[in-house]
Structure 1
C-alpha cells in the first residue's frame, strides 16, 4: 500500500513539473513574440541605412529618390511598404519604370528605367520613346516640336519617324510637325520650308518632295511652302525679294 502511495506521489510530482515546464515554455514564447514585435516596430533598431540606385540615369537624381524614401517612409526596414514606395518612385519625373527590393539587413535596391524624350508635345509636354506623354522639365537638347489633338501622340511620333527617315537623305530635318483634328499633316523643315501633305499617302507625297528638292535648290528663288496634295505634281510658293509670296 505504501509503494502505491509513493508511486502516485511520484507521478503527481512529474505531472506538476511537466506543467511548470510547459508554462515556462509558453511564457518564454509569448515574451519572445512580444520582444520581436517590439523590436520590429522600433525603426531605430532596424533603419534603412543604404539606398542603392541602378539603371542608366541622365535626368533622374539619386538624391530625389532617397529623399522620397526618407520623407515618406520613416518606418523600419521590416515595415516599409514596398508596393507604395514603388508607385511613388514611378510617379517621379523622368522615371518610366522602377523596381524596389529589400536587401537584408538594412538596404534597398532601386532600379529605374529613365524616360527618353523623343519630342516636345503641344509645347508643354514631352513624348517618350514609346509615344507616351509625360510631364517633366523640358530638356536643353534640341527636340522636334509635335502638335496634335489629344490621343494622337503615338500616331504623330510614328509619322515623324517615318518622314524623318525619308528626309535623312536630303540633310533636312523636321523642326515642327502639325497633325490636325482631321489628321492632315503639315511640316516645317529646318530650312524654313513648309510642307502641306494632306491626310492620305503622306509618306509617298513626302517622297515626291525628296525627289524634286534637288531641282528646287537650283532655282534662284527661295521656297516658302510646297503643297503636295495632288495626285501628280505639286504647288510651290516662292518668296521674292520683298517677301511677298508667289505661287507656281
Structure 2
C-alpha cells in the first residue's frame, strides 16, 4: 500500500517582514530631518544670507558716539540676524562708560533696536571719576573714541569738582546740591567742595573765596556767610578766605593781609 507524499509551503509572517523595513524607513526619515535642520540652522547663521542691516540707536544721546557703538557691536557680534545674542549686546552696551542703562530688541527681518539712557554727569569726583545725579560714580573722564569729543570735553570743563574719602559720594553730592541752592541769592556758586576724613566741609567759590565750614550745621553757617557777605563786599578788598567755624560769627582773611575777626565772633572754633 503506497503512502501519499504531502508537502506544505509556509508563508512569511508579515509582521516580521515589516519591522525591519519600518525601522529602516524611520531611520532614513530621522536622518533627513536632522540634515534638514542642520542645513536650516547653517542658513540662518549665515551672515551673508540674513545680515543685520541696521542698528537703530534711540534716546537722548548727547555724549555717546553712535558710529563707534555700532562698529563695536558689529565687531563683537558677528553672525546673522538670528545668531546675535541680545543679552550679549545688552551687556556690551551697558559696559560703555556713558551708558546708564539700555534695552535691546530685534525687529524682523534685519534690524536691531537699542534704546539708551545716558549717564548725566553733575560733578567731577576726586579728579578721576564722575558722579551722576544719583551720587553714583562712573569712569567717564577719558574723552575717547566712544564719546563725542567736543561735547564731552566741554561737559567736563563745566562740572563742579567734589573731593572726599571713598564712600562719601552721596554725602558730598547732597551737600553740594543744598549749598548751591542756598548760594543763589548771593550770586555766588561753588567751584570746588571738599570733605576731609573727619567730614569737615571746605568750599571754594567761583569768585575765589574759600569757606571753611567745618562739620556741624553747614547750612546754618553758610547762611551766616550769605547774610554778612554784602557788608564784606563794601570793604573793597579782596577776600582770601572766610572761617565760619564759630558759634555766632566768622573770621575773614583778606588777600595779602593778616586775618581779622568780625564782631560778635566767639573765640572758640568749632568743627
User: TM-score when scaled to structure 2?
Assistant: 0.79
Which residue pairs with 2:225 in the alignment? 209
How many residues end up aligned between the 2 structures? Answer: 239
Whether the aligned pair in 1 keeps the contact of 2:102 and 2:117 (CA below 8 Å) is yes
Which residue pairs with 1:5 in the alignment? none
Offset at residue 43 of structure 1 (A): 2.1
Q: What SS is found at the alignment partner of 2:153?
A: coil
Write out per-residue CA displacement over residues 61-111 of structure 1, whole angstroms, 9 at most, x where no aligned residue: 111111111111112221212212211111113111111111112111111
Which residue pairs with 1:29 in the alignment? 33
**Does residue 140 of the first structure (1) align with residue 154 of the second (2)?**
yes
The within-5 A match list for 1:183-222 is 183-222=199-238
Matches of 1:127 and 1:245, distance apart in 2: 38
Offset at residue 220 of structure 1 (A): 3.1
User: TM-score when scaled to structure 1?
Assistant: 0.86
Whether the aligned pair in 2 keeps the contact of 1:238 and 1:245 (CA below 8 Å) is yes
Whether the aligned pair in 2 keeps the contact of 1:59 and 1:94 (CA below 8 Å) is yes
Matches of 2:166 and 2:27, distance apart in 1: 71
Which residue pairs with 2:91 in the alignment? 87
Matches of 1:221 and 1:15, distance apart in 2: 110
Write out per-residue CA displacement over residues 157-213 of structure 1, whole angstroms, 9 at most, x where no aligned residue: 111000000001111000111110110000011111110110111111101111111
The within-5 A match list for 1:95-244 is 95-136=99-140, 137=143, 139-141=153-155, 142-239=158-255, 243-244=256-257
Q: What SS is found at the alignment partner of 1:245?
A: coil
**Could you list the runs of 5+ residues in structure 1 that have no partner in the other structure?**
1-7
Whether the aligned pair in 1 keeps the contact of 2:54 and 2:112 (CA below 8 Å) is yes
Whether the aligned pair in 2 keeps the contact of 1:68 and 1:89 (CA below 8 Å) is no
Which residue pairs with 1:245 in the alignment? 258
Which residue pairs with 1:3 in the alignment? none
RMSD over aligned CA atoms reads 2.4
Matches of 2:19 and 2:99, distance apart in 1: 66
Matches of 1:95 and 1:162, distance apart in 2: 27
